[in-house]
Amino acid sequence: MPAARRTRRSPVPVEHDADVRNAFRGKRCLITGGLGFIGSSLALELVNLGAQVTVIDNLLPNHGGNLFNIAPARDRIEVNLGDILSESVMAYLVRDRDYIFHLAGQVSHVLSMSNPFPDIDINVRGTAVLMEAVKHHNPQAYVIHTGTRGQYGAATKLPVNEDAPMAPKGIYELTNLTAERIIQIYSQNFSISSVLLRLTNIYGPRAQMLHSHFGVVNWFVRQILDGRPIQLFGDGSILRDFVYVDDAVEACLVAAVRSEGRGEVYNVGNDKPTSFRQLAETMIRAAKRGEYVFTEFTPERKAQEPGNFYSDITKARTRLRWEPKTELHDGLVRTLDYYRQHREHYWTVETRSAGGRAT
Amino acid sequence: MPAARRTRRSPVPVEHDADVRNAFRGKRCLITGGLGFIGSSLALELVNLGAQVTVIDNLLPNHGGNLFNIAPARDRIEVNLGDILSESVMAYLVRDRDYIFHLAGQVSHVLSMSNPFPDIDINVRGTAVLMEAVKHHNPQAYVIHTGTRGQYGAATKLPVNEDAPMAPKGIYELTNLTAERIIQIYSQNFSISSVLLRLTNIYGPRAQMLHSHFGVVNWFVRQILDGRPIQLFGDGSILRDFVYVDDAVEACLVAAVRSEGRGEVYNVGNDKPTSFRQLAETMIRAAKRGEYVFTEFTPERKAQEPGNFYSDITKARTRLRWEPKTELHDGLVRTLDYYRQHREHYWTVETRSAGGRAT
């Protein structure tokens, strides 16, 4: 089985320094959106580190929540299907937590531009429900929030650092920014510790593979595995920074352990940018198959396309001692292997393993 | 009657240039929050200019909505009591409007810090409901939004221009910023014309006089008229810019007429700053009575106090040809006169004239 051999040859997962390795043992952690792509990856790693992990997730269709994501540790993760908009549920769930990782969100730019209300509910009101719960029931908790590089909009200067102007291009990006600022305001006014991460394009195992509304790298992976050509918009020269999910999880962990924690903001990106064409070529090498074609931007894509974008991660590198460690090729090898093995849980809407997934 | 004599001696109201004077004749205008302080003042002026005016207002307690505000033109203003959160109501009301002045909002910093949900509902969701209605039912409308200088937070440089960083200190200020950006995003993506005003401290007739949660100048007016000393926090030396309501109304009108209108932002402030002590002294001269005392900041006041703040209005002055014309002393004379005459409609919760005000 070539896939299995490739897995053994692939680099070891991101290794933690001793302080991170020991920080979470016995710690009580809550992860909102914990059945989603990054949330579930974080849940598995926290369990590995000896934490007690509860996830809350509403399995919103097309958002990536999937019980199979946590299958390797299903018996060690407490799963609470529910909505972060429920004030009484959140008032209960936040109690006695050491760390609250807030990853629940509406994450589709496209959807947000046809209907702004899910974003306003989940990203804005949901974050306020969480912070009200923390304020009243557990102000000692440490809140880690993951926003998006989309909060910046188009780059006015490259690489983009945390002080760049904020000009979100859509309701999804705007509501992420509003969520971040709600947490900052609660931190500043009610002495709640928090750290705010702005994530670039994350890829890897456990992301949804049903549609192309978000997660462009994973969508390319699906094209390769389906034997279809990767479609590159324009000439494929636009630069972006890509981060493997294990590195994003590591950023969440080190931010929880090493940040001073009063609303500090950190880019979680990659200052070695890659063009979409390089991405496709690297993926084809990693998969040992596949091809790419060029296609015109649709007007919708063009409007949302912010042009070249990559993050300045100097602040994370110096203050959190974090940087991405996984080379694009290696991350893609692992991603391809994962979906080759588990295609049936991601290629079509999964109902059985999710034990009653909403439709 | 000294009050009446003083009214006759006071300067004429802000006069419009010919383009503004003629722009609104026969035009169909909708004003959200149109029974409130600035909304009702705008409604009366638009009627004077020959516009057809509909106001929507939910008479939210303590927010300043008051049917007496539009008494001088009650028979020429269509009043629609209702909530901007109603999608079907807004879908109907936005149709065939030439101008939509969006002034509805939760406006209390203090309230927003004890309960963030009214702000998220009214300021964020309400603005999205409005813009969805405009997008689907009247994308030709021109939308004029009034935000707050509080969106900037503390000044990093004085005077504060429109490019200054945004660091709102509370949920009220944050949700105003989010509302502004929702409108910008709809302008940019769906070709809806809009202009975004950031208002400084506005004072004058028709503001609520029941509490001190917002509207500091008017609150001082009430102290004077009640024969109580004005309380100045600290040493009263903090600088602020104050604008008389007629000038703010003029800014709304000229912005509708003269702005290019694709999400442009303008400060509506006063680059001649005044200390709170000067404000009190000017008011005492205008009233020919009164006194002030110094008092310690409460911790709550201290936390929300952004320090010296006044607006750079170069952009409004050059592009809109707007600047405040009413001297502080003259504006205060008119404000004092108004409340001397109409105290009974503002000093206690009014139920009769509001025709069923919610409690």
Share of chain B above pLDDT 70, in %: 93
Q: Which runs of E-coded beta strand occur in A112-229?
A: 142-148, 193-199, 201-203
Average pLDDT for residues B18-35, to the nearest whole number?
97
Report CB contact under 8 Å: A174, B181: yes
> Between A124, A169, A170, which is nearest B120 by CB?
A124
Which residues in chain B are closer than 8 Å to A178, comparing Cβ atoms?
124, 174-175, 178
pLDDT at residue A350, rounded to an integer: 55
pLDDT in tens, A129-185: 999 999 999 999 999 999 999 999 999 999 999 999 999 999 999 999 999 999 999
CA angle A174, A179, A180 (to 5 degrees): 100
- Distance separating alpha carbons of residues A37 and A151, to the nearest angstrom: 20
Q: Which chain B residues contact residue A179 at CB under 8 A?
A: none
More reliable by pLDDT, A240 or A2:
A240
Which residues are within 8 A (CB) of B331 and not within 5 positions of it... i.e. 6 or more apart? B203, B204, B242, B244, B246
Enumerate the domain spans of chain B.
Answer: 2-207+242-272+308-326
Q: Extract the tokens encoding A329.
A: 């090729």
Interface of B with A in 184-213 (CB under 8 A): 185, 188-189
Predicted pLDDT of residue B5: 39
Residues of chain B with pLDDT > 90, as a percent, come to 86
CB atoms inside a 10 Å sphere around CB B87: 15
Of A197, A207, A298, A291, the residue nearest A250 (C-alpha): A197
Are B185 and A166 a contacting pair at CB < 8 A? no
CATH topology of domain A2-205+242-272+309-326: Rossmann fold (3.40.50)
Question: What is the third-level CATH fold of B2-207+242-272+308-326?
Answer: Rossmann fold (3.40.50)
Task: Identify whether the C-beta of residue A305 lies closer than 8 Å to the C-beta of residue A275.
Answer: no
Binary contact (B171, A178; C-beta < 8 A): no
Is A113 touching B (CB cutoff 8 A)? Answer: yes
Please state which of the ranges B29-38, B273-282, B349-358 shows the lowest mean pLDDT: B349-358
The answer to whether B182 contacts A303, with C-beta atoms less than 8 Å apart, is: no
Tell me the mean pLDDT in the region A57-61. 94
DSSP, collapsed to helix, strand or coil, labels residue B348 as coil
- Total length of chain B: 359
Find, among A187, A176, A212, A189, the residue nearest to A103 by Cα: A176
Confidence of residue A339 (pLDDT cuts 50, 70, 90): very high
- Contact state of A117 with B124 under an 8 Å Cβ cutoff: no
Give the residue from B85, B124, B166 with the most A CB atoms within 10 Å of its CB, the best one to mutate.
Answer: B124
pLDDT averaged over every residue in chain B: 92
Contact A303 B116 (CB under 8 A): no
Distance CA B309, CA A160 (A): 29
Instruction: State the smallest CA–CA distance between residue B121 and chain A in angstroms.
Output: 8
For an interface test with B, which of A86, A110, A171, A177 has the most B Cβ atoms less than 10 Å from its Cβ?
A171
- pLDDT tens digits for range A19-32: 999 999 999 999 99
Q: So what's the pLDDT on residue A95? A: 98
Minimal C-alpha gap between B300 and chain A (Å): 9
What are the pLDDT digits (tens) for A117-132?
Answer: 999 999 999 999 999 9
pLDDT digits (tens, 9 = 90+) for B296-310: 988 877 777 789 999
Cα dihedral across residues A264, A265, A268, A271: positive or negative: negative
Chains A, B: CB contacts within 8 A come to 57
Q: Read off the pLDDT of residues B55-77 as tens digits, 9 standing for 90 and up.
A: 999 999 989 999 999 999 999 99
Query: Which whole number is the average pLDDT over B334-355?
Result: 82
**pLDDT at residue number A6:** 38
Q: What is the average pLDDT across A87-112?
A: 96
The pTM of the full predicted model, rounded to 2 decimals, is: 0.93
Higher pLDDT, B213 or A93: A93
Q: Nearest-CA neighbor of B139 among B131, B147, B129?
A: B131
A273 alpha-carbon distance from chain centroid: 19
Q: What integer is the mean pLDDT of B91-104?
A: 98
Q: Is A87 left (phi over 0), alpha (psi -120 to 50) or beta?
A: alpha
Peptide bond into A159 cis (omega under 30): yes
Does A117 contact B at CB distance below 8 Å?
A: yes
Between A181-185, A255-259, B31-35, B312-316, the lowest mean confidence (pLDDT) is in A255-259
Given a cut of 60, whether residue A5 has pLDDT beyond it is: no
pLDDT at B7 over 90: no
Q: Is B182 within 8 Å of chain A by CB?
A: yes
Res A236: pLDDT: 95
Closest residue to A128, CB basis, from B117, B131, B168: B117
Stretch B130-152: mean pLDDT: 97
pLDDT at B298: 83
Who's near A142: CB < 8 A, 6+ residues apart? A98, A99, A100, A193, A194, A195, A256, A261
pLDDT at A313: 98
